[in-house]
Amino acid sequence: MTVRGLVRDGAPYFHVWIRTASVRGAVWLLADTGAPRTTLLETGAESLHIPPDNLEPAPSPMVGIGGVTRCSILRNAEIRLQSDEGDWSVLHDLLVTQHNLLTFWPAVRARVLNLPSILGRDIIDRFRFTYERATGVVSLEG
């Protein structure tokens, strides 16, 4: 099975479908081998219209690009990747972050809101990940 991604702005991305009882939609996730967890940032979470009552507070904040963020957990989300041979899916808890945007200058706030949601090692490590920027090859094989 091969899931094909694409290179956007010089980085590897995958189109991922996410579904729960009240959430259905797709987002582009940046493949980030430095990130331990798959995480929806503000823009990705907003595009899925996640009802706030579907989010459970995470035990601790997250530190990353953009500073410290408040985290929530979207429990038992189906993450589905489309491949040449059919779909691959797993039930998985997703982190959802929320920056304190009031603490940023307007220019910095705009940059933080443009940060992509992340496909982390919790999913990537289930596959052989290939990223060849020169040829535009981005894939997960498993």
Rounded CA gap, 35 and 137, in Å?
Answer: 21
**How far, in Å, CA of 71 to CA of 3, rounded?**
29
Banded model confidence at residue 79, pLDDT cuts 50, 70, 90 = very high
Helical segments of 1-142, H only: 42-47, 106-113, 121-124
Residue 65 lies in a domain: yes
CATH number for the domain spanning 64: value is 2.40.70.10
The pLDDT confidence band at residue 44, using thresholds 50, 70 and 90, is confident
Q: What is the mean pLDDT of residues 84-107?
A: 84
Res 68: pLDDT: 72
Tell me, yes or no, whether 8 lies in a domain. Answer: yes
* Residue 128 counted as domain residue: yes
Q: How many independent structural domains does the chain possess?
A: 1
Q: Is residue 58 part of a domain?
A: yes
Element spanning 74, H or E:
strand 67-83
What are the two backbone dihedrals, phi and then psi, of residue 94, each rounded to the nearest 5 degrees?
-110, 140
Question: What is the pLDDT of the chain when averaged over all its residues?
Answer: 89
pTM: 0.87
CA distance 49 to 117: 15
Domain for residue 74, yes or no? yes
Strand duo 55-57 + 67-83: pairing: antiparallel
Q: Are strands 137-141 and 128-132 parallel, antiparallel or unpaired?
A: antiparallel
pLDDT of amino acid 64: 67
Which tens digit of pLDDT belongs to each residue from 50-60?
Answer: 988 899 998 88
Which domain range does residue 97 map to?
2-137
Give mean pLDDT, residues 42-71: 82
Angle at 93 between CA 91 and CA 94, to 5 degrees: 120
In terms of Cβ atoms closer than 10 Å to its own Cβ (0-12, 13-18, 19+), residue 43 is: middle
Answer yes or no: is pLDDT of 100 > 80.
no
Confidence of residue 101 (pLDDT cuts 50, 70, 90): low
Asked whether residue 108 is domain-assigned, the answer is yes
- 142: in domain: no
